């Protein structure tokens, strides 16, 4: 059997929509993007969405929009994809890591206050695997110290905790439509916010700081444009938006499929002594972006290779950021700095979790994992 780690859900309906755009005049940012932004805002219950090229650019622009940069510190966790910390560096600010909760891998809100300094300007909580961080508590701390909250919601479009969705308690929430994410345009991202001025500023920042987007310049009587701030070239285009529009229609249906798949994994592994997995809390709906299991760090890599040998696609999400060569060299981080994140990083592995995964395929994965757990060497 050959089981891909991820399969997207782009089908005839999405392809038709792309073809429609390709037959039209406007390929860059225009009405298809605006339609997607409106629908995405509506889905989240948020006022404004700004389509960009990636979650990395979404995080970068959000920091810039709140004037965070050189000389500032931004707090996040090392248990994320490198994009989170890299975006902080792109803004000119310094990433300051705090450790995560052992049960969820999310930022440990109890450790935030201790890490705040006079330079701290913002917190970037990462909703790991699709489960939201303790946003109420983070919001309390942020209010007390006058900090901004920018959510890394790359894993979490469909998630909710204590009836709060991404974007509702924060100053901006950043999403990814990268190739393996819950909805995808190959590459793509978005920022959602309830702040009108910031939304306007983000619209400028995503396109060089220009006062008019191409579509506005082109439609109707010619108008001169100006540039009042230095922006970037991060605008989402109509082709990307056309791929995303339809997937948004099916987002809950496909979430339910992933929820079923994850529940089946949990049921199958809950009594296996050598396997544990992150906990989905009672008051939380996980977006179920990834399903990861935790195994013995001594055996993890061999199990990965064994599963690959059996044709099963696997991944590691994530080895902690502070131990990447660049971060060690630049900031002097050493092993032991964030023990919980390091422990998760050494024992974690992600299994295929997507709506197209069949029952037979999942059964094969479960059987293979259980077999591999009791075997040590590569076959």
Ligand X SMILES: *Cc1c(COP(=O)(O)O)cnc(C)c1O
Detail the DSSP E strand segments found in the chain.
Answer: 48-52, 73-76, 94-97, 120-123, 148-152, 160-161, 172-176, 189-193, 284-285, 291-294, 348-351
Residues 6+ apart with CB under 8 A from 295: 274, 275, 303, 347, 349, 373
Cβ atoms within 10 A of the Cβ of 160, count?
18
CA-CA distance, 277 to 294, in Å (whole number)? 5
Complex with ligand X: residue 3 or 83, whichever CB lies closer: 83
Residues 6+ apart with CB under 8 A from 175: 40, 55, 58, 153, 154, 157, 166, 189, 190, 191, 192
For residues 177 and 190, is the Cβ–Cβ distance under 8 A?
A: yes
User: Exposed (0-12), middle (13-18) or buried (19+): which is 105, by Cβ within 10 Å?
Assistant: buried
> Long-range contacts of range 226-229, CB-CB < 8 Å, 24 or more positions apart?
228/204, 229/201, 229/204, 229/205
Closest CB 214 distance from ligand X, rounded Å: 23
Closest CB 128 distance from ligand X, rounded Å: 7
Binding site for ligand X (CB under 6 A): 54-56, 80-81, 83-84, 126, 152, 154-155, 176, 178, 189
Q: What is the DSSP string of 256-277?
A: HHHHHHHHHHHHHHTT-TT-B-
Closest CB 372 distance from ligand X, rounded Å: 25
Closest CB 55 distance from ligand X, rounded Å: 3
Complex with ligand X: residue 36 or 178, whichever CB lies closer: 178
Complex with ligand X: residue 44 or 373, whichever CB lies closer: 44
Task: Look up residue 318 and give its two tokens.
Answer: 């994530």
Q: What is the DSSP string of 135-186?
A: HHHHHHHHHHHT-EEEEE-TT-SS-EETTB-TTSSSSEEEEE--TTSSS--S
Closest CB 231 distance from ligand X, rounded Å: 18
Closest CB 290 distance from ligand X, rounded Å: 8
Task: Look up residue 277 and give its two tokens.
Answer: 């997995």
Complex with ligand X: residue 40 or 299, whichever CB lies closer: 40
Closest CB 31 distance from ligand X, rounded Å: 23
Q: Are strands 148-152 and 172-176 parallel, antiparallel or unpaired?
A: parallel
Complex with ligand X: residue 126 or 205, whichever CB lies closer: 126
Complex with ligand X: residue 154 or 183, whichever CB lies closer: 154
Complex with ligand X: residue 178 or 333, whichever CB lies closer: 178
Q: Residue 212: what are its φ and ψ, rounded to 5°?
A: -140, 140
Complex with ligand X: residue 57 or 368, whichever CB lies closer: 57
Complex with ligand X: residue 176 or 368, whichever CB lies closer: 176
Q: Are strands 73-76 and 160-161 parallel, antiparallel or unpaired?
A: unpaired
């Amino acid at each position: 059997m050959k089981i891909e780690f991820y399969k997207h859900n782009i089908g005839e309906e999405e392809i038709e929509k792309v073809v429609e755009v390709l037959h039209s005049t406007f390929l860059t940012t225009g009405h298809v993007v605006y339609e997607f932004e409106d629908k995405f805002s509506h889905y989240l219950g948020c006022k404004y969405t700004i389509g960009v090229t990636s979650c990395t650019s979404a995080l970068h622009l959000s920091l810039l929009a709140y004037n965070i940069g050189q000389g500032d510190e931004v707090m996040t966790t090392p248990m994320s994809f490198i994009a989170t910390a890299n975006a902080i560096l792109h803004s000119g600010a310094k990433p300051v890591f705090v450790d995560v909760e052992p049960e969820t891998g999310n930022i440990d809100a109890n450790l935030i206050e201790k890490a705040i300094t006079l330079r701290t300007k913002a917190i970037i909580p990462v909703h790991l695997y699709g489960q939201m961080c303790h946003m109420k508590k983070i919001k309390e701390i942020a209010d007390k110290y006058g900090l901004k909250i920018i959510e890394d919601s790359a894993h979490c479009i469909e998630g909710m905790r204590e009836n709060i969705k991404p974007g509702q308690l924060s100053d901006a929430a950043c999403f990814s439509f990268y190739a393996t994410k819950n909805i995808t345009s190959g590459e793509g991202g978005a920022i959602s916010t309830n702040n009108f001025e910031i939304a306007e500023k983000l619209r400028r920042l995503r396109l060089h700081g220009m006062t008019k987007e191409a579509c506005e310049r082109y439609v109707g009587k010619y108008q001169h444009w100006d540039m009042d701030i230095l922006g970037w070239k991060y605008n989402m285009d109509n082709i990307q938006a056309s791929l995303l529009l339809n997937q948004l229609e099916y987002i809950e249906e496909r979430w339910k499929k992933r929820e079923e798949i994850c529940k089946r994994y949990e049921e199958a592994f809950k009594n296996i002594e050598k396997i544990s997995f992150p906990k989905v809390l009672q008051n939380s709906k996980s977006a179920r972006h990834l399903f990861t299991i935790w195994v013995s760090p001594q055996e993890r890599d061999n199990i990965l290779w064994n599963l690959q040998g059996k044709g099963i696609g696997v991944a590691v999400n994530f080895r902690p950021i502070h131990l990447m060569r660049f971060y060690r060299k630049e900031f002097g981080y050493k092993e032991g700095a964030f023990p919980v994140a390091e422990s998760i990083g050494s024992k974690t592995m992600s299994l295929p979790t997507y709506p197209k995964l069949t029952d037979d395929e999942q059964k094969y994965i479960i059987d293979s994992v259980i077999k591999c757990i009791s075997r040590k060497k590569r076959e």
